Amino acid sequence: MRKSARIQFRAYAIAGLALAAVLTLASEGWSRARPPAGCQQMTEAVAKALFAEWNKALQQKPETVVRTYTPNAVLLPTVQNGPLIGRAAIRGYFDHFLEQHPVGRIDTRAIVPVGCNTGVVAGLYTFTVDDGTARVDKPARYTFVYVYETAARRWLIAQHHSSAQPQQSATK
């Protein structure tokens, strides 16, 4: 092989490797769906922080709790018929619920992937509440549907379903 042919071959080989590297990196980037700018995703850390904020609000006043909901949120409460739609109706529920001095804890949590600026978190939680002169645990099921309000730059509850757990069936 002549020297000029070797140089030309080497140049083609280098160009080919460079092209292969560019195409490989570009296809990796194209294959991953990237969320659009301003898109917030529900994560485990976000879900934990949102529950902590809501639970802390339960230790304060009903208005503080209500501010964690969207203006037209829907609440399907544990101990009252519903649905309760809008902050005024939701506030009425928390006016009475907070009289029991509830403190919640998450027992299980599952995050349902929904997409951009929306998140669904569901599982089991337990509230310790006043019951006469004693504090008792009240286990329940929950689903929170969150929306990220871009103007406010925060997550709010758009829908909240809470229901008592069914009684454990006796073993047969």
Tokens for 82, please give them.
């519903």
Examine the pLDDT at 22 and tell me if it is beyond 50: no
Q: Give the mean pLDDT of 148-163.
A: 95
Helix (H/G/I), strand (E/B), else coil: 8: helix
Q: What is the pLDDT of residues 92-146, one digit of tens each?
A: 999 999 999 999 999 999 999 899 999 999 999 999 999 999 999 999 999 999 9
Residue 82: the pLDDT is 84
Q: CA-to-CA distance for 151 and 156, rounded, in angstroms?
A: 12
pLDDT band at 37, cuts 50/70/90? low
Question: Over the chain, what is the mean pLDDT?
Answer: 83
Residue 81: the pLDDT is 87
Examine the pLDDT at 25 and tell me if it is beyond 80: no
User: What are the b/e assignments for 74-108, b being 16+ CB within 10 Å?
Assistant: bbbbbeeebebeebebbbebbeebbebebebebee
Q: What is the pLDDT of residues 50-61, one digit of tens each?
A: 999 999 999 999
Phi, psi (rounded to 5 degrees) for 82: -145, -170
Q: Give the mean pLDDT of 7-27.
A: 40
What percent of the chain has pLDDT above 90?
67
Q: What stretch of H or E contains 96?
A: helix 87-97
- CATH architecture, range 44-164: Roll (3.10)
Give the start-to-end residue ranges of the domains of the chain: 1-32, 44-164
Tokens for 98, please give them.
């907070």
Q: How many helices (H) and strands (E) does the chain have?
A: 4, 6
